[in-house]
Structure 1
Amino acid sequence: MPLKPLFRLFTLGAFTLFASCATTTTAQSAKESSKPKNIILMIADGTGLSQISASQYFSSQPSNYDRFKHIGLIKTSSSSDLVTDSAAGATAFSAGVKTYNGAIGVDKDTIPVPTILEQLEIKGYDTGIIATSTITHATPGSFYAHVKTRKMEEEIANNLVSSNIDFFAGGGVNFFTNRVDKRDVVMELRKKGYVIDTTRLNKTAKLDKNKRYGYLLSEGGMPSILDGRGSFLYDATKMGINRLSMNKKGFFLMVEGSQVDWGGHNNDADYLISELIDFDTVIGQVLDFAGKDGNTLVIVTADHETGGFTLAADDGDYNKIKPTFSTGGHSATMVPVFAYGPGASEFSGVYENTEIYHKMRMLLNL
């Protein structure tokens, strides 16, 4: 299907009305040099500059990436490879260490390292994880689990039980119920006090600040946008913010648009761009919340770029863009970091991916 008709069909009307443009004020500028109460870290897996540019060229709405003033670049190599994978990339964000490809919350010697979620939970913060992959996938798993390899998704699910995450939403119910060891990890979560739903997001439910919530809404990863996922990421993020913001101490929420990466691996431009536009719309919601709240730092970045994606002129026609790919894997290019809110100015410049963790920790006085 040609790109332009595809994105006419890709309707955002149900929720784009929330993505209004932010206005810059003197008060906001002052806030950007202060300390945040909350942090929302948004990771569009596999997203480089060309993917972000696609949100400007192929969406019917203005790109929410355009709303940021503070922009940096991170170097993404892991300890084992010049080209990182998502596990090592996410562990750099969650724990501030360079580790080997495939590592989940462990250092290069496979020793568990504390994540920012775990450190904040000890301090009384509420925490949340949302992804369009399985909730046990490399990126979300790296924020709460400690295993030698990302392939151990059943063990990563076990780590979720032992964590104290207050809100999570994604796919992967098979790693909790249809297991080799026959454990029913959903039941274990319920026994621990979680309200678990494996059928739908109940958007009208009245959330309780004293309860933890988990949504496992597909056997594996969530469906793609093109296959009918709808507004899951937007709705889950809204619910997560509503629940976590009940904590007067503060909260940390990680939101992953997992399938931008999958579109890149498939060299499928329609898949990639539809996922990126979905993620961009969620950025709009989060920025609107942060603008009203005044105490929330929003960081938007990626663990790496996927596909060697570029927006080339089509057969020399400089008025026609042809998305192209140079690889079915990841690339070593730097990826951008966008920041808004208290402490946003700290994220300008060029630095290693591990600095995302250290900057967040510094701003939260951990």
Structure 2
Amino acid sequence: MKKLSSILFITLLTVACQQTEPENTEVISVMESEGSVPELLPLVETNTIKNVILLIGDGTGLAQITAGQYAIVGPDGLLHMQTMPVTGFVKTHSSDNLITDSASGATAYSCGLKTYNGAIGVDPNQVPCKTILELAEEKGLSTGLISTSSITHATPASFAAHVEQRSMQEEIAADFLDSGVEVFLGGGVQWFSENQRSDSLDLLGQFEEAGYQILMNEQDLQNSDSDRLLGLFAEDGMERNEGEPSTATMAQKALDIMSKDEDGFFLMLEGSQIDWAGHGNDSEYLLREVEDFDNAVKAVLDFAREDGETLVVLTADHETGGMTLQQQYADGDSLEIYWTTSYHTGTPVPLMAYGPRALEFMGWRDNTYVGQKLSELLQVGELPVLLED
């Protein structure tokens, strides 16, 4: 029996080795590196942290970052996110699955605890858990959420809402009204409009009554002078149509507003559609989204470097697509990409940091550690905290 098993193993291995042309492949162009390579940002010597910015590249693993580097700045260049001086890794499993989804992954960052796939701001028993954003609001800090998906999508929702399932986007939008968040920027007008909600609730009107300025396009954003914004630039996820702001533009506006708060601020910014491109195994789409996200990273890092009291942490909720850099073609001007799945994987994701106490984010970390440590460093309280009656 053992001999038969060995023969079977050798046969399967031989067949596998002969499969040299996997079906699920794409080819991307590699940019020729030009100019000088940007230097790594320096370690910040001060320990004073006034502001925290959490950047989440949804679905972004090392392959997505490297493919972006090759296609945007070339093999010898660096994306802005690659200039961050501290690097570690994040383990991403949820409480009920080795392969997390964005809801449980984001709740690990926001609440500092493991929960089940689909959960928004609740623990495995569906008890609401307090988030770092809510702790920051209680301490008088300004807060903001930016996303290129609907602002009620799983990642941003997990910082300012508490529902049993991520699909409950109407309930999430209603939760946002009582969150105290100063800046919401993303897509998702359908979840706020009385003409599109199943309950005909006029959330747009209620947000206006609560002091928010409603923004529908980039011009509205640029012209706004309010310190409370609800920017909804698409029916659902942002579609990169004319009139929609880039993620960098949204980031800059949020920083302009929240940096006026002498008590400091907490901002979460998500590059949502890197994940969507991974689900679709679409390299061209992915590279556009990586570039858009990286431009926002530059805006954030420029602010943090000038400010000196801002900690920036960049990570992902999970990797999507099992993206692999397969082989080089021609004279190095193209690269084959191979996708192993159209869903998430359990591969650990990068963790990068710049600013005061950045060294706290070296090494192999659980995703819950990130939320717990950020809350501690921002001095807004300890996570996790359950909101039981």
Same fold (TM over 0.5): yes
Question: Structure 2 CA distance, aligned partners of 1:37 and 1:287?
Answer: 15
Question: Structure 2 CA distance, aligned partners of 1:132 and 1:187?
Answer: 23
**What letter matches 2:212 in structure 1?**
Y
Tell me the percent identity.
43
| Partner in structure 2 of residue 12 of structure 1 | none
CA offsets per residue over residues 146-202 of structure 1, 9 Å max, x none?
A: 000000000000001111000110111001111000101111111111111224453
1:205 Cα deviation from its structure 2 partner: 2.8
| Partner in structure 2 of residue 135 of structure 1 | 151
The answer to whether residue 164 in structure 2 is matched with residue 148 in structure 1 is yes
1:207 Cα deviation from its structure 2 partner: 2.9
| Partner in structure 1 of residue 177 of structure 2 | 161
| Partner in structure 2 of residue 4 of structure 1 | 29
**What letter matches 1:324 in structure 2?**
Y
| Partner in structure 2 of residue 202 of structure 1 | 220
Question: Structure 2 CA distance, aligned partners of 1:110 and 1:251?
Answer: 28
1:193 corresponds, among 204, 211, 215, to 211
| Partner in structure 2 of residue 97 of structure 1 | 113
**What letter matches 2:142 in structure 1?**
D
1:320 Cα deviation from its structure 2 partner: 3.9
Give 1 or 2 for the bigger CA radius of gyration: 2
**What letter matches 1:260 in structure 2?**
I
1:62 Cα deviation from its structure 2 partner: 3.7
CA offsets per residue over residues 215-260 of structure 1, 9 Å max, x none?
A: 0111111014xx6686521101000000000100000000000000
CA offsets per residue over residues 19-70 of structure 1, 9 Å max, x none?
A: x956756xx5413xx1310011000000000001012100047411221111
Unaligned runs of 5+ in 2: 1-25, 382-389
Distance 1:257 1:357, change over 3 A: same
Number of positions where the alignment pairs a residue of Structure 1 with one of Structure 2:
346
**What letter matches 1:30 in structure 2?**
E
The answer to whether residue 73 in structure 2 is matched with residue 55 in structure 1 is no
C-alpha contact 2:59 2:317 (8 A) present in aligned 1: yes
C-alpha contact 2:29 2:335 (8 A) present in aligned 1: no
Question: Structure 2 CA distance, aligned partners of 1:24 and 1:279?
Answer: 18
| Partner in structure 2 of residue 11 of structure 1 | none
Deviates more, 1:194-203 or 1:327-336: 194-203
CA offsets per residue over residues 108-150 of structure 1, 9 Å max, x none?
A: 0000000111011000000000000000000010000000000
Question: Structure 2 CA distance, aligned partners of 1:192 and 1:112?
Answer: 24
The answer to whether residue 36 in structure 2 is matched with residue 36 in structure 1 is no
| Partner in structure 2 of residue 180 of structure 1 | 198
CA offsets per residue over residues 278-314 of structure 1, 9 Å max, x none?
A: 1111111111110000000001100000000011105
The answer to whether residue 247 in structure 2 is matched with residue 233 in structure 1 is yes
Question: Structure 2 CA distance, aligned partners of 1:314 and 1:100?
Answer: 40
Question: Structure 1 CA distance, aligned partners of 2:242 and 2:101?
Answer: 27
1:279 corresponds, among 272, 275, 293, to 293
Where do 1:1-366 residues align within 5 Å?
3-4=28-29, 21=38, 28-31=43-46, 34-60=47-73, 62-177=78-193, 178-205=196-223, 207-208=225-226, 211-224=227-240, 231-314=245-328, 320-365=334-379, 366=381
**What letter matches 2:285 in structure 1?**
Y
Distance 1:319 1:200, change over 3 A: closer
Using the size of structure 2 for normalisation, the TM-score is 0.84
